């Protein structure tokens, strides 16, 4: 069984989906991506999750993020399930759902945890950067629905810290102050951050979010 760690290149694959065949790396292009799995079609929590993602698609697009879901059921089942999602969640599913009947992708990404369920996938989430590297991995049990506001918050942090020498503190939200990277000497902070900074401890320096006007 493959083990994927942060910083690894996300494994490429080809698969059938509700929006046609997908070559994962080609489909991502220069975008960031979210790949997330569901235990099965026609399950109540998954239905609410996919409906939520459809409603949040514009927020993901603002962040240059493409979203793709996965379930181990077949394509015909997916298409029928989408009708239920659209009806019950008052939305229109606007992203592909991979049909992983042979569990090829699920096994490639270690989405099946036998101690939880020998056949169904757990609620895995992989955030993948525009360099095709895995930036975040979260695993939820089948019984717990995901918080997509939290995923947006994490993506904001990942994209900010990828391009600026900062980290984000506990409970950070877009617009809040950031932690100056320990790699920057205090004397050099003004050269990197023109909005100023506050030294709380020599190792804990805060500065306004650098990519906001």
Q: Are 39 and 46 in contact (CB under 8 A)?
A: yes
Average pLDDT, the chain: 91
Whether the predicted model's global pTM rises above the 0.85 cut: yes
CATH node for 164-207? 3.30.1020.10
Q: Is 178 a catalytic residue?
A: no
Whats the size of the chain, residue-wise?
213
The neighbouring-strand residues paired with 133 are 9
32-38 and 123-128 strand pairing: antiparallel
Given a cut of 50, is residue 95 above it in pLDDT? Answer: yes
Fold of 14-145: Glutaredoxin (3.40.30)
Residue 189: the pLDDT is: 95
Q: What's the rounded mean pLDDT across residues 68-78?
A: 92
Q: Are 144 and 18 in contact (CB under 8 A)?
A: no
Residue 192: the pLDDT is: 92
Question: So where are the chain's domains?
Answer: 14-145, 164-207
Given a cut of 80, is residue 99 above it in pLDDT? Answer: yes
Active-site hit among 15, 46, 93, 189: 46
């Amino acid at each position: 069984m493959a083990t994927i760690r942060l910083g690894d290149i996300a494994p490429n694959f080809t698969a059938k989906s509700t929006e046609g065949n997908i070559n994962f790396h080609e489909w991502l292009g220069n975008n960031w991506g979210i790949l997330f799995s569901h235990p099965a079609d026609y399950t109540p929590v998954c239905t609410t999750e996919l409906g939520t993602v459809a409603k949040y698609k514009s927020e993901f697009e603002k962040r240059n993020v493409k979203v793709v879901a996965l379930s181990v059921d077949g394509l015909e089942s997916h298409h029928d399930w989408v009708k239920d999602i659209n009806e019950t969640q008052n939305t229109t599913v606007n992203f592909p759902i991979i049909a992983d009947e042979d569990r090829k992708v699920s096994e490639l990404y270690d989405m099946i945890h036998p101690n939880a369920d020998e056949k169904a996938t757990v609620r895995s989430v992989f955030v993948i950067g525009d360099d095709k590297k895995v930036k975040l991995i979260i695993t939820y049990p089948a019984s717990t629905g995901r918080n997509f506001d939290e995923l947006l918050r994490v993506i904001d942090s990942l994209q900010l810290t990828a391009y600026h020498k900062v980290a984000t503190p506990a409970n950070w939200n877009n617009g809040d102050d950031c932690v100056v990277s320990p790699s920057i000497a205090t004397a050099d902070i003004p050269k990197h951050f023109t909005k100023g900074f506050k030294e709380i401890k020599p190792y804990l320096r805060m500065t306004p979010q650098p990519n906001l006007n």
